Amino acid sequence: MKDVSELFGSLVFSDSVMRTHLPKDIYKALKKTIEQGTHLELDVANVVAAAMKDWAIERGVTHFTHWFQPMTGITAEKHDSFISPVDGGKIIMEFSGKELVRGEPDASSFPSGGLRATFEARGYTAWDPTSYAFIKDGTLCIPTAFCSYSGEALDKKTPLLRSMQAISAAALRILRLFDNKDAKRVLTTVGPEQEYFLIDKKYYLARPDLVYTGRTLFGARPPKGQELEDHYFGALKPRVSAFMKELDEELWKLGILAKTKHNEVAPAQHELAPIFSTTNIAADHNQLTMELMKKIADKHGLACLLHEKPFAGINGSGKHNNWSISTDTGTNLLDPGETPYDNAQFLLFLVAVIRAVDDYQDLLRISVASAGNDHRLGANEAPPAIVSMFLGEELNDILEAIDTGASYVGHEKVQMAIGATVLPHFPKDTTDRNRTSPFAFTGNKFEFRMLGSNLSIAEPNVVLNTAVAEVLSRFADALEGSKDFIGDVAKLIKKTIGEHKRIIFNGNGYDDSWVVEAEKRGLSNLKTTPAALGAFLTERNIKLFTKHGVYTEKELESRHEIYLESYAKTINIEALALIDIVNQSIVPAVIDYQNDLSELLLRKSKVGGYDNSLEDSLLANTSRLGASLAKKLAALEAETIAVRGIEDSIEAADAYRERVFAAMSELRLVVDELELIVGKKYWPLPTYGEILYSVI
């Protein structure tokens, strides 16, 4: 392997590459576009395109693609070659500024939520110069936004860029009040921790439910799961280690700051965490990370599972969205400093986030809602569906003192003395961590922990950015023109704490008593995706997004429709897969087992003198469960057919949850019980034990 410093970013048309490949005036013009959002002239784009093409061709590239993120949740790309014909049957390699800045893919087959009719095919991709072009699979990939012929956003990148613009504008208004004239932009940054499972590819291919849906639709719990907690941070197995090593190398080539890797709690579960990047780039990088995980796993004879809950009874996989706000001059606006009690600017930004999370808790819940994440939220490894915030002891005491007017004595730094003199002493953090909190402050950032592992991080960050932008805008409205700025800031901080402290909860979010307490506080508890989506198109939420230019009302309505359709389609696919597997594999296996038991009993009865109690018991149990299997299977088939005829998307989503998913759960209980008594040689599919412990 090359030296990491040489390897890192070697496939990226990065700032350093642009500086060496572009004329100075062109480089400055492009940097101005990137940093200030100015319009990029076509003559500048032509020079950039030519340099980008030459750089790519030097690395064996023959094609380019506009790489975009439609509402499918994954990325899309259409490849075109650099080839252009010339006289004499020859070709030259060309790439123009027009081709760089604009593409024209077919928009009709991507989800639009009614924004586009099927016959209205035209769509546009527009170059996002804030995210560097890169080489993947021998193709030059140009990160782009994706919009319809009529200008509506059909992707996840465009609203994210709009939200980043909104929070920057609002935050700068506040910074100017604190006499900060140096900052030109305010950036949100994210470091998304990515959890995933690795299993042997042969077992993955032997489970149609994993292939079709990404999760197991049935499966009895193995004798050993995660009870001993011996997998967490355990030594990496050789195949896993080899996979992680290659993954790191490929991510580094793409300029992705992969930093941490380790085993997670569940058997076969792992995690990768990157260093922070600006939110737009972090979203692009996370999409690439998930794609590379699957591709590299395949090379190692493995399958990478990114579903939020691939196995029942053990931990599912999340994606922790570590979010902060920084100026372009390098100041983290959520850094408390040495004396947070006296840091008025920090406290104002802190209470702005507190108010944003409280005011728009429904939107934060909606932003992570999916059929897959419904299995995870509220389980014993994930935060509940109730949105709340953890601030830790020190900040909580500071806010309490401000709210009540009491004096704040501060938290003394304590040295950790572990007991063995050979071990070093080090300062103890003033605040512990709370892994049960959906939205936790962790030193100089917030960790939004409700995201599912398969989710694009764009949507939750759109909500977070826009909600905070709204609160900061209101704060600026209240403070601009103030005659006693410091006094008015103090009053605003105190007022905000008093009105929004209900969202702060530092206790155990897994405890049942918190559900009761949250209800008393008036916090929402949107347990399922259909319940969450019901709160999406409120007048208040529409006003938030339209005011800041993040979504139009039409774009919001389209997304609501897309989310509902996606939920219904997901449950429908799962139901059809379960019906198919039971009919084609489980029923024949149960019949074969019953037949063999019956024949054995018949032979023994002819001979006589044998104790048949074991065979009688097994046959009786199998027969009972077989009859129940037939009944539950018929019920699921009937519900799946009935619900399919519901035209209203909201009613359909509710029906898939309340009727189809419920029928699937009933059928699963029977299948799982049968797995425990039907002989191994009859059971047609790999068990949890075989799958989870397959990688050695």
* pLDDT score for 342: 79
Q: H or E segment at 326?
A: strand 319-327
In this structure, is residue 557 part of a structural domain?
Answer: no
The string of pLDDT tens digits covering residues 570-611 is 999 999 999 999 999 999 999 999 999 999 998 888 887 788
User: Are residues 121 and 196 part of one domain?
Assistant: no
pLDDT, mean of residues 15-37: 91
Q: Cβ contacts of residue 485 below 8 Å, gap of 6+?
A: 177, 479
- End-of-domain residue from the set 139, 155, 171: 155
Take residue 227 and report the two structure tokens written for it: 């009870």
Reduced to 3 states (helix: H, G, I; strand: E, B; else coil), residue 273 is strand
For residue 367, being part of any structural domain is answered with yes
| 186-210 exposure pattern, b = at least 16 Cβ within 10 A, e = fewer | bbbbbbbbbbbbbbbbebbeebbbb
Q: What angle do CA 259, 261, 267 make, to 5 degrees?
A: 165
pLDDT band at 118 (very low <50, low <70, confident <90, very high): low
Domain of 84 in residue numbering reads as 4-155
Q: How far is CA 516 from CA 19, 140, 388, 437, 450, in A?
A: 59, 54, 14, 16, 20
The span from the CA of 315 to the CA of 267, in Å, is 9
pTM above 0.85, yes or no: yes
CA distance 297 to 200: 9
The secondary element (H helix, E strand) that includes residue 160 is helix 157-177
Residue 639 placed within a domain = yes
- Given this model, what pLDDT does residue 623 score? 94
560 is a domain residue? no
Same structural domain, 131 and 180: no
Can you tell me the mean pLDDT for 362-380? 88
Which of 102, 130, 155 is a domain's end point? 155
Q: Is the pLDDT of residue 103 over 80?
A: yes
Same domain, 118 and 215: no
Instruction: Return d(Cα 519, Cα 101) in angstroms, integer.
Output: 50
Asked, for residue 142, whether it belongs to a domain, the answer is yes
Tokens of 201: 């590819």
Q: Is residue 508 part of a domain?
A: yes
Q: Which of 114, 133, 155 delimits the end of a domain? A: 155
Is residue 168 located within the same domain as residue 149? no
Residue 194, by phi and psi: left (phi above 0), alpha (psi -120 to 50) or beta?
beta
Report the candidate in 384, 266, 258 with the shortest Cα–Cα distance to residue 317: 266
Range in 63-67, 352-356, 629-633 the model is least confident about: 63-67
Contact predicate 382/376, CB 8 Å: yes
Closest listed residue to residue 457, CA positions, set 270, 176, 191 = 191
Q: What percent of the chain has pLDDT over 70?
A: 93
pLDDT at 496: 96
Q: Which residue has the tokens 């996840």?
A: 156
| CATH number of residue 14's parent domain | 3.10.20.70
Kindly write down the DSSP assignment for every residue of 505-544, as one continuous string.
--S-TTSHHHHHHHHHHT--B--SHHHHHTTTT-HHHHHH
Query: How far apart, in whole angstroms, are the C-alpha atoms of residue 684 and residue 675?
Result: 10
What six digits make up the tokens of 587?
């029923």
CATH of the domain at 601: 1.20.120.1560
DSSP three-state, residue 371: helix
CATH at residue 378: 3.30.590.10
Give the max Cα distance, the chain.
Answer: 105
CA distance 539 to 76: 33
Q: Any idea which of 290-304, 363-377, 400-414, 445-459 has the lowest mean pLDDT?
A: 400-414
Counted domains in the chain: 3
pLDDT in tens, 659-677: 999 999 999 999 999 999 9
Average predicted confidence (pLDDT) for the chain: 90
Does residue 529 sit in the same domain as residue 659? no
DSSP E strand boundaries for 391-452: 414-416, 426-428, 439-441, 446-448
Residue 558 lies in a domain: no
Counted residue by residue, the chain has a size of: 696
pLDDT value of position 426:
47
Tell me, yes or no, whether 215 lies in a domain: yes
Rounded to whole angstroms, the Cα distance separating 325 from 217 reads 41
Q: In this structure, are 145 and 244 located in the same domain?
A: no
Asked whether residue 136 falls in the same domain as residue 171, the answer is no
Residue 633 and residue 686 in one domain: yes
Specify which residues 390 forms β-bridges with: 440
Predicted confidence at residue 339, as pLDDT, reads: 80
**147/169 same-domain check:** no
| Beta-bridge partner residues of 208 | none
Could you tell me if 105 and 250 lie in one domain? no
Distance separating alpha carbons of residues 456 and 286, to the nearest angstrom? 8
Residues 76 and 121 in one domain: yes
Same domain assignment for residues 492 and 604: no
Region of 277 (left: φ > 0; alpha: ψ -120 to 50; beta: rest) is beta
CA dist 295 → 10, 298, 302, 305, 494 (Å): 20, 5, 9, 12, 52
pLDDT in tens, 266-280: 899 999 999 999 999
Which residue has 């790309």 as its token pair? 77
Q: Convert the pLDDT of each residue in 229-283 to its tens digit.
A: 777 778 888 999 999 999 999 999 999 999 998 888 889 999 999 999 999 999 9
